[in-house]
Amino acid sequence: MRAHFLIHPVLVAAVLALGSPLALSETFPESLKAAVDAAWQRSPQARTLEAKRDEILAGQEAARSWLAGSPSVGLSERSDRWTDKAGSRERELAVAAPVWMPGQVSARRAQAEASAAELEARIAQARLALAGEVRERLWAVAAAREILAEARNRQTYLDATADDVMRRVKAGDLARTDGMLARQEALAAKSAVVDAQLKVRDALLQFTILTGLKDIPEPAPEPLAAMPVEPHPRLLASTAAIRNAQAALDVVSKTRSEPPTVGVGYRRERDASGSESASSVTLGIEIPIGTAARNRPLETAARTQLTTASAEAMQSAAALQAEIELAREQVAASEQALDAAAARAELAREHAQLIEKAFRLGERGLNEMLRARSLLHEAEVAERQHRIAVGLSRARLNQALGITP
């Protein structure tokens, strides 16, 4: 009896709920696509998956053949020269080959096509996953560079402040302790620059290892897709795995025994010495008898594969929907946080300017000015990082939507 497993209706509904085809008002920058292409060329997984295409083609060619195995040629001779010596002799030439039944051929072809479709779906899924890695490492470099830029700005300001304070110390306008404090802040800023430079190098090294490129593309926020890709690469891979498992189960169901062997032979014989020889043609077929014991392990394994693929597809659909919803929330949250960080930086900038002006007039102390500058530095770093967070969150949303640059 044939067993049929259907794709769960909840999975189908989840796929349809993800939306219609991608609608982008802008195109992705070519530099980002080039980075993903470069990473794909260097990926061992990509090389393995693409190499499997030849394996799939070979399987499709084998599935189109009616032969279930290698044909055989046999030659035999029978004679009474060692017994009665009456001159009796018989020679036979036979050719035999195992063949698939019509239903088995169609099932094997369907499985070969399902395997090819699953491979292409796996390739698309792997490329999407690799694009996610490129996005993450690109924005990691961008974030590290923003921290470095702000650290350098702080160092430049504190170096200039320390020089100005030392001049005023020498002129007797400020105490020597103020000069020492200013130099300490300048040296701390220099150390922060060194640490930030190391982090930039580490992040860039990780990007270079992945893509082979010496530098990242321009870290511009990606244009957001209105809806997910249809079909989504992750769901497409899951449904393709189900179809392949179902096709494998169909093959097992239609192959209850070993394939029959068909043979044809040519025989030439004579009864005694001097008599005329007679020729004949033999047609034969051997049909193995299948047993439940033979097929049960194969059917069980195929059913297990189908059950696993169905469960993984259900889980993938649920996880994907949750990821898309979370990514949308992160985009909205990062944009709100950026607005707040920008407002905070503007207030901190105005506050620092007022304190610095009062310090130069002698109305505020050095500690207050350095404190105001420290608060401004924190606010500007936060603003820069929130800008990076907006770009990263948009990239993650496109990733969840199945957008491959």
Give me the percent of the chain exceeding a pLDDT of 90.
44
Identify the bridge partners of residue 267 per DSSP, sorted by sequence position.
Answer: 92, 280
pLDDT of residue 208: 95
User: 14-33, pLDDT tens digit by residue?
Assistant: 333 333 333 343 455 568 89
Residues 6 or more apart from 52 whose CB is under 8 A from it?
A: 119
pLDDT of residue 274: 64
Residue 175 has pLDDT above 70, yes or no: yes
pLDDT of residue 76: 86
pLDDT of residue 178: 83
User: 260-274, pLDDT tens digit by residue?
Assistant: 889 998 988 877 666
Residues 6 or more apart from 223 whose CB is under 8 A from it?
A: 24, 25, 26, 27, 28
pLDDT of residue 241: 92
Higher pLDDT, 335 or 168: 335
- Compute the average pLDDT of residues 335-352: 93
User: 202-246, pLDDT tens digit by residue?
Assistant: 999 999 999 999 999 988 888 888 888 888 999 999 999 999 999
- Compute the average pLDDT of residues 324-329: 94
Higher pLDDT, 76 or 136: 136
Residue 3 has pLDDT above 80, yes or no: no
Ordered by start, the domain boundaries in the chain are: 9-400
pTM, full prediction: 0.78
pLDDT of residue 292: 67
Residue 346 has pLDDT above 50, yes or no: yes
pLDDT of residue 330: 95
- Return the structure tokens found at 65: 């053949």
If you average pLDDT over every residue of the chain, what do you get? 85
User: 80-118, pLDDT tens digit by residue?
Assistant: 767 766 667 788 899 999 998 888 888 989 999 999 999
pLDDT of residue 65: 85
pLDDT of residue 148: 94
pLDDT of residue 4: 39
pLDDT of residue 29: 57
Residue 289 has pLDDT above 70, yes or no: yes
The residue assigned the tokens 């059913």 is: 303
Measured in whole angstroms, the distance separating CA 43 from the mean position of its chain's CA atoms is 10
- Compute the average pLDDT of residues 169-195: 88
pLDDT of residue 209: 95
**Continuous segment of H or E residues that includes residue 144:** helix 102-171
Q: Which CATH number fits domain 9-400: 1.20.1440.230, 3.50.50.60, 2.102.10.10, 1.20.1600.10?
A: 1.20.1600.10
What is the distance between the alpha carbons of residues 115 and 213, in angstroms, rounded to a whole number?
34
Long-range contacts of 129-133 (CB under 8 A, 24+ apart): 130/36, 130/39, 130/40, 130/43, 130/45, 130/46, 131/36, 131/39, 131/399, 131/404, 131/405, 132/396, 132/399, 133/39, 133/210
Secondary structure (3-state) at 35: helix
Residue 9 has pLDDT above 70, yes or no: no
